[in-house]
Homo-oligomer: A and B are copies of this chain.
């Protein structure tokens, strides 16, 4: 709109100086953390509870301690730094959260931007000498990506009570490791009960990981909802047989059946005019020999839709297709549910605070649905929650080419500061 913006009113500085985020420090830390957890090929592979994750956690904790925060680690390994200055009552805190674990060959922004911006916001409030009506905390949740251990967003899911901590610690990883043992090995098996974290409000800053904000030239996304996510593993069983001597008509080819699942999902998603997305990211054949028809094939299916009914429709369509496939190709098909999250509606009041803050700072802003899963969707079960998105260049994420301009990150952190200040009663 073209009407002049109203004069600034919130955050209302006390006798103290007006809080301001140290963007240079935030960006330095983002790059420093991005150098931790590289593999031999230089790829960022800071998988949950790995040695690289340990190094990243150690670095984060050292920064939290430098900032004077009280650091606690809970039983699922979530790391929280609490700021409660003298004069601030011991009441439920405003929590700023995200994660620092990554996918394989990741970028440096996903997750880390939110955690480090949260730390920078607390430092800004502390430096300004304000005494908030509530404590403010920053949390790095364990295993948000879910690459090594399923389901993803595990640390925040456990905090929300959606998964028992004992069950989460017993999860066996893609490398046959056990999460609980790995957390103990890297020194992050804490003692605090995860469900003890009950925020007054929860806010998460994150890169969009999609193309919308950049394409529309918008600086700030006020995230008011989040897609539902369905993860399944499909295992197909056929007959190992000789590639040269087995007529096509006599084959029970598990690999062919797997390929039919992939093309089915694409044709269906492409044909619909809905935001439904379907992805097959993992596949494996057995015996995986050039001259042997695959006897076994396994693949993962990632289905997402902002509408729960439509997501259920997509799941049902896949199930029906798999039944037909088993009959048509003479193969066995087994489906394992890895994760399932309904779409989430975030707290309208916090979404409004985000829009207000952006307007006061003269930043373009739009409401947006998150296509990715985030810890905020779990925290929304136990506290009023919302998210702030900043643009992702080319919509690229989960890739070394993931990029967000320094100025865009600084703008997102500034909006986060204003929202947290308002929620914390500064």
Bound together, the chains give a CA A46 to CA B275 distance in angstroms of 50
Kindly list chain B residues whose C-beta atoms are within 8 Å of the C-beta of A105.
240, 286-287, 295
User: A154 → chain B, closest Cβ, in Å?
Assistant: 13
Q: Given the complex, which residues of B lie within 8 Å of A63, measured CB to CB?
A: none
Tell me if A372 counts as interface (CB < 8 A to partner B): yes
Indicate if A136 sits at the interface (CB-CB under 8 A): no
Q: What is the CB-to-nearest-CB distance from A205 to chain B, in angstroms, rounded to a whole number?
A: 16
Which residue among A211, A270, A279, A280 has the maximum number of chain B CB atoms within 10 Å of its CB? Answer: A279
Q: Taking A287-B105, A291-B145, A292-B398 as contacts, is the C-beta distance between A244 and B209 under 8 angstroms? A: yes
A292 x B103 contact (CB < 8 A)? yes
Q: Which of B242, B269, B370, B398 contacts A209 (CB 8 A)?
A: B242
- Per the 8 Å Cβ criterion, residues 279-302 of A in contact with B are 279-295, 300, 302
B residues near A152, Cβ cutoff 8 Å = 291
| Interface bin, chain A | 35 or more
Which of A150, A209, A283 has the most C-beta atoms of chain B within 10 angstroms of its own C-beta? A283
Among B103, B278, B293, B395, contact of A279 (Cβ-Cβ < 8 Å): B293
Does B269 contact A248, Cβ atoms closer than 8 Å? yes
Return chain B residues, CB-CB under 8 Å to A263: 256, 259-260, 263
Q: Shortest Cβ distance from A171 into chain B, in angstroms? A: 14
Within the complex, the shortest CB–CB distance from A315 to chain B, in Å, comes to 16
A323–chain B nearest beta-carbon distance, Å: 19
CA distance A269 to B255 in the complex (A): 15
The distance in angstroms between the C-alpha atoms of A364 and B396, with both chains bound, is: 66
Are B209 and A372 in contact (CB-based, < 8 A)? no
Does A227 sit at the interface, judged by CB under 8 A?
yes
- A375 to chain B: closest CB distance in Å? 14
Q: Digit string of A5-41 for contact with B (CB within 8 Å is 1, else 0)?
A: 0000000000000000000000000000000000000
Q: Which residues of B contact A208 (CB under 8 A)?
A: 245
Q: How many copies does the complex hold?
A: 2
Q: Identify A290's interface contact among B250, B302, B372, CB under 8 A.
A: B302
Q: Is the CB of B104 within 8 A of A399?
A: no
Contact among B240, B285, B395 with A246 in the assembled complex (CB-CB below 8 Å): B395
Residues of B within 8 A of A287 (CB): 103-105, 281
Q: Do residues B248 and A270 form an inter-chain contact, with CB atoms below 8 A?
A: yes
Q: Chain B's nearest CB lies how many Å from the CB of A223? A: 12
Query: Is A373's CB within 8 Å of the partner chain B?
Result: yes
A155 at the interface (CB under 8 A from B): no
What residues of B have a CB within 8 angstroms of the CB of A253 in the complex?
266, 279
Complex Cα gap A370–B242 (Å) = 12
Chain B, Cβ-Cβ closest to A264:
B259
Chain B residues in 8 Å Cβ range of A293: 279, 281
Q: Which residue of B lies closest to A369 (CB)?
A: B245
Q: Which residues of A contact B (CB under 8 A)?
A: 103-105, 145-147, 150, 152, 208-211, 227, 229, 231, 239-250, 253, 255-256, 258-260, 262-263, 266, 269-270, 275, 277-295, 300, 302, 304, 338, 370-373, 395-399
